[in-house]
Chains A and B, each alone.
Chain A
Amino acid sequence: SAVISQKPSRDICQRGTSLTIQCQVDSQVTMMFWYRQQPGQSLTLIATANQGSEATYESGFVIDKFPISRPNLTFSTLTVSNMSPEDSSIYLCSATVGTSMNTEAFFGQGTRLTVV
């Protein structure tokens, strides 16, 4: 099992600024991910955070807008850069533990971002 601490839990930001979200896991995990989610809606994968190398981004997401770091196995950050109101959403950090036959995903409590 894994416990994920994510902060901040919420923020209200001015357009054009940047926000960095931090994710700390209490144990070593297989993979770490960043998602975006509108309340009650689907989980949209932004990128896979790779330890010590550049993140792997999904279609529609780019490094300049969402730079991600993962300096070690248990910590990752996501920055939302040059924010606009369209970036208002819930951002979730996730980590997986296990093998392909038994992988459990754990989630941080989410960061509710409002851009004004």
Chain B
Amino acid sequence: GENVEQHPSTLSVQEGDSAVIKCTYSDSASNYFPWYKQELGKRPQLIIDIRSNVGEKKDQRIAVTLNKTAKHFSLHITETQPEDSAVYFCAAIPDSNYQLIWGAGTKLIIKP
């Protein structure tokens, strides 16, 4: 079955700098890759996603890139702000069902 690995587990960056979180997946049939943000004490929420027919997608300060050949995708956050501090989860959906396979999460810390 599908397996998603996420790195790093913790990322600390200076406010204003960029942050990059990387995920790899194992099932080449997976075709949809969302990213979720979970703030402390709150539920995870979708922030951006990418489909297998697209290489990159941007939404203001966040972007996601996908390399299907290498089976990895990344979340990029530019000009980081204190409100970006959270745990970020990547996920993949195998073509055979609608179940999300989750990465282990990255705790992003923005230092003032």
Residues of chain A touching chain B, judged by Cβ–Cβ distance below 8 Å, are: 30-31, 33, 39-43, 45, 48, 92, 96, 98-105, 107-110
B44 to chain A: closest CB distance in Å?
5
Q: How many residues of B contact A (CB 8 A)?
A: 29
| CB-based contact A100/B97 at 8 Å | yes
Pair A42/B102 contact, Cβ less than 8 Å: yes
Q: Given A43-B89, A96-B98, are A102 and B43 also a contact pair (CB < 8 Å)?
A: no
List, sorted by A's number, 17 A–B pairs whose CB atoms are closer than 8 Å.
Answer: A33-B99, A42-B103, A43-B44, A43-B89, A96-B98, A98-B98, A99-B98, A100-B95, A100-B96, A102-B49, A103-B32, A103-B93, A103-B98, A104-B46, A104-B49, A105-B44, A105-B91
Residues of A within 8 A of B100 (CB): 96, 103, 105
Residues in B whose Cβ lies below 8 Å from that of A103: 32, 34, 93, 98, 100
Q: Which of B80-104 contact A (CB under 8 A)?
A: 87, 89, 91, 93-100, 102-104
Cα distance A31–B31 when bound, in Å?
18
Leading 5 A-B pairs by shortest Cβ distance: A107-B43, A42-B104, A42-B105, A43-B102, A103-B98
